[in-house]
Amino acid sequence: MVETVERNVAEMKKKTGPVTAVIVGAGNRTNVYSTYAEQHPNELQIVGIVEPDAIRRKKAAERFHVADENCFESIEAFTHKERFADAVINGTMDELHVQTTIPIIKAGYDVLLEKPIGTEKSEIEALSATAAQYNRKVMICHVLRYAPFYKEIKRRVLDNEIGEIINIQTAENVSYHHMAVSFVRGKWNRKDICKSSMLLAKCCHDLDIITWLMSGIKPKRVSSFGSLMHFRPEMAPEGAGKRCLVDCKIEHECPYSAKKNYIEQGNWGWYAWRSIQHLGPEPTVQQKIESLKTDNPYGRCVWHCDNDVVDHQSVAIEFANGTTATHNLMGGTAKPCRNIHIIGTKGEIQGTMEDGYFVIRHPNARKGHHFKEEKVEIEVSEDMHGGGDLRLVADFVSVLKGNKPSISTTSLEDSINGHLIVFAADQSNEENRVINMNE
């Protein structure tokens, strides 16, 4: 172990050029994160691809000019080759995160790991123990910590502008088209297949924000209620069919129309057209329509799918110091947004990330006044998650170069509490009881 630590320190001191990374899982998230290498080639270079799908593997290799000998079909093939990069960006599906990351760590790589860390508590514990044993860095892609909106809120909390936190209220409103493509028709619609609940897949970001703001104070008790209320066969409107473009009489007016969302609006193409990616990078409209009519899962009616995850859930948390927090997940809303309201002993912070600002209020008992308010304007970038995606990658690169971590840095250890709350919340919802986190 001492030799490993000394070797890693030596590597860190001599790391002056760009960080080199291997993409594992050439999907949507690694596609986003690796954009940083194109924008900042002097900071990050993609030098390897691990992807079982031949089409995606070839596409990623061409994008980053990766040599054939550094393209792999499996983790086994990759990890059996002598280490040739500094790090790995792991964007595999949820249930594969731990089983792919452990051999990557053992092969000597630091890892930027897409959330969630794992789908079970035992998995997360095993990953944490392996990272500690091999002295490797594992940063979790909790990108909201890097969004200017949340980062500035954290800074104000650290500066004691609202005193000690008494209560945190957060909410995530998942748009109707996002809900449909991911959690009704798509890859996260059944827990027995993807192994993640909707709360874990969608809201581990938000619960991480809560635990991050609490600066390491452990959650004590958790309760939760939620269900699949709307996207069920018996809730289908009159005239709805089994497939949007086959037997639906209301497709022209339905907001969930596959044609409207995936063809006319051009939303979610990465998912919607995967089943016809063999036709080329730009299938014709007619080819898309034909796929939606036949075997494309994204052409199904949202009220006649095989989904079983919740479409709404509420979580209540009590921390060890007495602070309380709530998180509300709502799927199928008209407008997607994330809200936060923090109440402290000296004041409060409230805002909606997508609005690009938050307000800080303090009591003001002067005659004619009740409170004073400061509006804090935030730069909102066009990239996803309020500008957090590429800022996360920049921080990962900076840490690997030996620089001081930022206030957002997501080490594995301080990313775990939010996941533990998710597991407890789902257990509470299933068993109809309050979960003591010491159990």
Distance (Å, rounded) from C-alpha 65 to C-alpha 83? 19
Each domain of the chain, given as residue ranges in start order, spans 2-141, 145-231+307-436, 233-299
Q: Which of the following CATH numbers is that of domain 145-231+307-436: 3.30.70.20, 3.40.50.720, 3.40.50.2300, 3.30.360.10?
A: 3.30.360.10
Task: Give, in words, the CATH class of 2-141.
Answer: alpha beta
CA distances, 136 to each of 5, 347, 395 (Å): 9, 40, 16
Q: What is the pLDDT of residue 384?
A: 62
- SS3 of 22-34: EEECCCHHHHHHC
CA distances, 175 to each of 116, 256, 290, 338 (Å): 21, 11, 26, 11
Check if the beta carbon of residue 171 is closer than 8 Å to that of residue 213: no
Distance (Å, rounded) from C-alpha 325 to C-alpha 170? 8
Divide the 439 residues of the chain into consecutive groups of 10 and give the mean pLDDT of each group.
Answer: 44 72 93 94 97 94 96 97 97 94 98 94 94 95 92 96 98 97 96 93 94 92 98 97 97 97 94 90 93 96 97 98 98 96 98 95 88 89 70 94 88 83 97 94
Check if the beta carbon of residue 91 is closer than 8 Å to that of residue 50: no
Q: What is the pLDDT of residue 383?
A: 58
Per residue in 337-346, is it b (16+ CB within 10 Å) or e — as a string? Answer: ebbbbbbbee
Q: What is the pLDDT of residue 1?
A: 40
Distance (Å, rounded) from C-alpha 329 to C-alpha 162? 26
DSSP output for 312-339? EEEEEEEETTS-EEEEEEEEEESS-EEE
State whether the Cα torsion 248-249-252-256 is positive or negative.
negative
Q: What is the pLDDT of residue 68?
A: 96
Q: What is the pLDDT of residue 431?
A: 97
CA distances, 310 to each of 194, 263, 426 (Å): 14, 27, 10
Cis peptide before 237 (omega within 30 of 0): no
DSSP output for 96-122? GHHHHHHHHHHTT-EEEEPSPS-SSHH
Output 56-59 pairs: Cβ under 8 A, ≥24 positions apart: 56/26, 56/27, 56/277, 57/26, 59/26, 59/281
Neighbours of 96 (CB within 10 A): 17
Question: Which of 146, 148, 128 shows the shortest CA–CA distance to 138?
Answer: 128
> Does residue 137 sit in helix, strand or coil?
coil
The dihedrals phi and psi of 49, each to the nearest 5 degrees, come to -135, 130
Enclosing H/E stretch for 254: none
Neighbours of 396 (CB within 10 A): 26
Distance (Å, rounded) from C-alpha 186 to C-alpha 272? 9
Distance (Å, rounded) from C-alpha 392 to C-alpha 386? 12
Distance (Å, rounded) from C-alpha 70 to C-alpha 50? 8
Distance (Å, rounded) from C-alpha 213 to C-alpha 207? 10
Q: 349: Cβ–Cβ under 8 A, 6 or more apart, which residues?
A: 153, 156, 157, 161, 162, 340, 341, 342, 358, 359, 360, 361
State whether the Cα torsion 190-192-197-200 is positive or negative.
negative
State whether the Cα torsion 8-9-13-18 is positive or negative.
positive
Q: Are strands 110-113 and 138-140 parallel, antiparallel or unpaired?
A: parallel
